[in-house]
Structure 1
Amino acid sequence: MSKFNRINTLSGWLVFAIALVTYVLTVERTASFWDCGEFIACSYKLQVPHPPGAPLFLLIGRLFSMLAMGDVTQVAYWINMVSVVSSAFTILFLFWSITLLARKILGKQDDELSMGEIIAVVGSGLVGSLAYTYSDSFWFSAVEAEVYGLSSFFTAIVIWAVLKWERIEDDAAANRWLIFTFYLVGLSIGVHLLNLVTLPALALVYYFKKYKPTLWGGIAAFVGGLVVLVIINSGVIVWLPSIAGKFEIFFVNTLGTPYSVGIVVFLLLFVGTLIWGIRYTAKKENEIWNVALLSFTFVLVGYASYFLVLVRSNFNPPINENDPSDVISYVSYLKREQYGSRPLLFGPVFTARPINSERGEPIYRKSNGRYVIADYRPEYVYEKNQQMLFPRVHSNQGNHPQLYRDKLNLAEGQKP
């Protein structure tokens, strides 16, 4: 191990220790406001929190709750420690990511760095990581039972892993790091979706390593990263369960099979196709597609923590929000349908009023061995002059309209 690697490793663990001590000394002893109490209760008994849930956080929280040794008055404290430990590890991987980037800027191998350059690289890591350690927002979430500390950990380790991958010249070893990175992305979905925003950046790192960079190439790589984000965010998280739900409804309502047969058939077809694709690309020595399919598979493996929601809901625990005990209600749970929808690209502003309501997607419920339509989701129609691109002022709930008017200096009845 070179002198730099020794100093870099020890310095990383030093900032980890500083962060850990800081957060341990300031951790909440009981439950905080907002979602913390819910997450503590749901972690302790592996119950079902509000959509879309955080099953991996709950599993880890359950493990930490066992450190209370049966003392229920200490359960909240130990589940808060999930955020403490994961936030300290966030600082560790942030430090190592900064030093990796600093070495990249210098353009030298580890054993080529002078003592002055080592001090500069390690110093940049210390400044950056310790500044983040004591930043208000991060420190706040590092000492309570919320998902943001653990989510930040996954974001930090994903960035660190892809930067490690970028330095590896051997393709076989590098591919293992790439697949590992996507496994971490899959795991992170079971905590929070924040980690997905790293995907466009990861695509750029991949592009700059594999290809000679150009402006349009960089734009294409960024767009490719966005496509991967959509595939995971919409495809893996929403579309796959939705397709499974359609299989289930078809098999039960059309073919007359018992419940869950459609799910089993879908899983067999999907997993079989995935295995065939991996074997076929390996046989044809198509490295890019083989790594892509393996990475996709490991995203799914990480995402499998969401089976906890389905399993625990069927035990009907005291906290069982939305009761996602079958695939239909489970899909609704994952899609957060209880919150309604908000316009992202085009939609109404807060002063708009619906002029019509159309029948949307059907809402199914179990009844006598079938899935029956209980209702339809309404889709509201607005006048075109009441809609706009990127409608950031769309909410008409509570005091939101008045806040919009105050910020935009709009009179009562005036349109934005």
Structure 2
Amino acid sequence: MRTFRQLNNLTGWLVFAVAAAVYTRTVEPTASFWDCGEFIAAAYKLQVPHPPGAPLFLLIYRLFSFLALGDPQQVAYWMNIASALCSAFTVLFLFLTIVLLGRKMTGASGNPPTAAQTVGLLGAGVVGALSYAFSDSFWFSATEAEVYAMSSLFTAFVVWAALRWERLEDPNAAGRWLILIAYVMGLSIGVHLLNLVTVPALALLFYFKQYRRPTFGGGLLALAIGGCLIFGVMLGVRIVLPTVAGEFELVAVNTLGMPFGSGIGVFAVLFLAALVYGIRHSIRQRKVWLNTALLGFAFVLIGYSSYTLAVVRSNHNPPINENQPDDVLSLVYYLGLKQYPSRPLLYGPHFTAPYAGQERGAPIYVKGKDAYEVADYDRTIRYDPRHLTLLPRIYSQDRGNPDAYRQILGLPEGKKPTMADNLRFLFGHQLGHMYGRYFMWNFAGRESDAEGAGWLASL
């Protein structure tokens, strides 16, 4: 067993070294397209980028900017190096994950693998990890200062840690691993929400570990609970908690005439007191799973606390200060992505739907001299109900989009799109051209680097 562990670790670090060498040799020398320039500038001076922000990403990439040794022209390069290293560590954890899964599948989880099994397990890990390392999209993201490299690292670590937890028999050690996973997931919110998609898989792992005779219905229930946990973190931790804190602040300042920040202080004291009481109660009553759940929730909040950076830096009014989240009410607006228009995912208009007015929503507050003042209201655009449909895929009326829809679908000018047109766009363009083609770029091949190029198999 010790020999296998040594070989496993050595091979993993060799895979890491290969990935790190390739990524650092092919890294972007300066800022690349899209959000990278904004993130580099924001991290260099700890500014406030577009919602919902990435405060932990900014803090860590700020550290890498010090390696430029005071030369601003090298800042972008060293931040790109940070992405290269994050991606190389992602490949390492993917290798370890594949080996863990392989040991589970071969039944060698509790016994030392044979020589043949060792070759097969390590070979599978190397092939799988390096296949991902050299895939088109991952290699691309590994060489630029974007959030996806670090987010992939957090995701890979959480999956590996969950599989390590699943192997443990000691409940004390298992509980500590669960709390570690919760903390890392809290940290990952300060980079990107992508890490939360691992929650349903973690729920299934928990179910199969705790119940030795799993059923199909039990698996579906575990998946459903995992989905609820995703929304619990996305809405409960990210939105609801700051919103409730904002309501306390409004009442304290606008109704009771207390100073700015008083409501936040009251809410923080009450919330922390309730959390501490719950943890102490679970210890006294020896409720292990309640204690683990509450500690996990607390560590998610500790990881999520990186968002205080946005408020602190916004109060210093840096040049990049999007939405200016300098108080809890503007932070809720920032976290809720209110500046972006909503997209009708399940029900909404076609792009030909006539405009039918607006509905005024919740007030938007800004800090005044002595109280919070209403600066504006959320607006919801209404459309002619005769032009609403299920799964609206061709809905955008932004400049150029209607012409693109008609060109892709061959619709004549003035014709109202049907559900068949909607589904043709969904399956032909969105799933086929935009997803299937892109997927095959990674695992088959690309015709060229020209925009709109198709995928190409070598066989």
User: TM-score, normalization: structure 2?
Assistant: 0.88
Question: Could you say what secondary structure the match of 1:355 adopts?
Answer: strand
CA distance in 1, matches of 2:165, 2:76: 38
Q: 1:363-412 CA distances to partner (integer Å, 9 max, x unpaired)? A: 11222311121221112223333223332322222322233333444333
Question: How big is the shift at 1:2?
Answer: 2.0
CA distance in 2, matches of 1:364, 1:13: 52
Q: Is the 8 A contact 1:3 1:111 kept in 2?
A: no
Question: How big is the shift at 1:98?
Answer: 0.6
CA distance in 2, matches of 1:96, 1:196: 21
Q: 1:301-329 CA distances to partner (integer Å, 9 max, x unpaired)? A: 10111110000111111211111111111
CA distance in 1, matches of 2:154, 2:228: 21
Whether 1:202 and 2:174 are equivalent positions in the alignment is no
CA distance in 1, matches of 2:151, 2:361: 34
Question: How big is the shift at 1:111?
Answer: 4.0
Residue 415 of structure 1 is matched in structure 2 by 417
User: For residue 316 of structure 1, what is the amino acid of its counterpart?
Assistant: N
Q: Is the 8 A contact 1:4 1:110 kept in 2?
A: no
Supply the RMSD in Å over aligned alpha carbons: 1.3
Unaligned runs of 5+ in 2: 419-459
CA distance in 2, matches of 1:237, 1:349: 31
User: For residue 256 of structure 1, what is the amino acid of its counterpart?
Assistant: G
Question: Could you say what secondary structure the match of 2:355 adopts?
Answer: coil
Question: Could you say what secondary structure the match of 2:399 adopts?
Answer: coil
Question: Could you say what secondary structure the match of 2:367 adopts?
Answer: strand
User: For residue 371 of structure 2, what is the amino acid of its counterpart?
Assistant: R
CA distance in 2, matches of 1:29, 1:410: 45
CA distance in 1, matches of 2:164, 2:393: 38
Residue 67 of structure 1 is matched in structure 2 by 67
User: For residue 125 of structure 1, what is the amino acid of its counterpart?
Assistant: G
CA distance in 1, matches of 2:292, 2:406: 52
CA distance in 2, matches of 1:104, 1:385: 55
Question: Could you say what secondary structure the match of 1:388 adopts?
Answer: strand
Residue 336 of structure 2 is matched in structure 1 by 335
Q: 1:339-358 CA distances to partner (integer Å, 9 max, x unpaired)? A: 12112232223222331321
CA pair 356-73 structure 1, distance change in 2 beyond 3 A: closer
User: For residue 208 of structure 1, what is the amino acid of its counterpart?
Assistant: F
Residue 302 of structure 1 is matched in structure 2 by 303
Residue 56 of structure 1 is matched in structure 2 by 56
Question: Could you say what secondary structure the match of 2:31 adopts?
Answer: coil
Q: Which moved more, 1:110-119 or 1:259-268?
A: 110-119
Residue 451 of structure 2 is matched in structure 1 by none
Question: Could you say what secondary structure the match of 1:271 adopts?
Answer: helix
Question: Could you say what secondary structure the match of 1:108 adopts?
Answer: coil
Q: Is the 8 A contact 2:47 2:314 kept in 1?
A: yes
Residue 2 of structure 1 is matched in structure 2 by 2
Residue 179 of structure 1 is matched in structure 2 by 179
CA distance in 1, matches of 2:269, 2:86: 36
Residue 287 of structure 1 is matched in structure 2 by 288
Question: How big is the shift at 1:71?
Answer: 1.6
Question: Could you say what secondary structure the match of 1:51 adopts?
Answer: coil
Q: Is the 8 A contact 1:15 1:91 kept in 2?
A: yes
CA distance in 2, matches of 1:281, 1:28: 51
Within 5 A, what are the aligned runs for 1:310-329?
310-329=311-330
CA distance in 1, matches of 2:274, 2:15: 46
Question: How big is the shift at 1:110?
Answer: 5.5
CA distance in 1, matches of 2:328, 2:369: 16
Question: How big is the shift at 1:112?
Answer: 3.0
Q: Is the 8 A contact 2:4 2:112 kept in 1?
A: no
CA distance in 1, matches of 2:292, 2:387: 47
Q: Which moved more, 1:73-82 or 1:398-407?
A: 398-407
Residue 444 of structure 2 is matched in structure 1 by none
CA pair 102-410 structure 1, distance change in 2 beyond 3 A: same
CA distance in 2, matches of 1:206, 1:408: 46
CA pair 220-332 structure 1, distance change in 2 beyond 3 A: same
State, as a whole percentage, how many aligned pairs show the same letter.
56
Within 5 A, what are the aligned runs for 1:152-163?
152-163=152-163
Q: Which moved more, 1:366-375 or 1:124-133?
A: 366-375
CA distance in 1, matches of 2:174, 2:352: 53
User: For residue 384 of structure 1, what is the amino acid of its counterpart?
Assistant: P
Question: Could you say what secondary structure the match of 2:373 adopts?
Answer: strand
Q: Is the 8 A contact 2:94 2:156 kept in 1?
A: yes
Q: Which moved more, 1:366-375 or 1:154-163?
A: 366-375
Within 5 A, what are the aligned runs for 1:355-374?
355-374=356-375
Residue 260 of structure 1 is matched in structure 2 by 261
Q: Which moved more, 1:14-23 or 1:383-392?
A: 383-392
Unaligned runs of 5+ in 1: none
Q: 1:47-90 CA distances to partner (integer Å, 9 max, x unpaired)? A: 11111111111000111011111122211111111101100000
User: TM-score, normalization: structure 1?
Assistant: 0.97
Q: Is the 8 A contact 2:360 2:379 kept in 1?
A: yes
Question: Could you say what secondary structure the match of 2:265 adopts?
Answer: helix
Question: Could you say what secondary structure the match of 1:361 adopts?
Answer: strand
CA distance in 1, matches of 2:10, 2:124: 15
CA distance in 2, matches of 1:83, 1:222: 32
Whether 1:85 and 2:85 are equivalent positions in the alignment is yes
Question: Could you say what secondary structure the match of 2:365 adopts?
Answer: strand
Residue 222 of structure 1 is matched in structure 2 by 223
User: For residue 193 of structure 1, what is the amino acid of its counterpart?
Assistant: L
Q: Is the 8 A contact 1:5 1:110 kept in 2?
A: no
CA distance in 2, matches of 1:161, 1:387: 45
CA distance in 1, matches of 2:277, 2:350: 48
Residue 251 of structure 2 is matched in structure 1 by 250
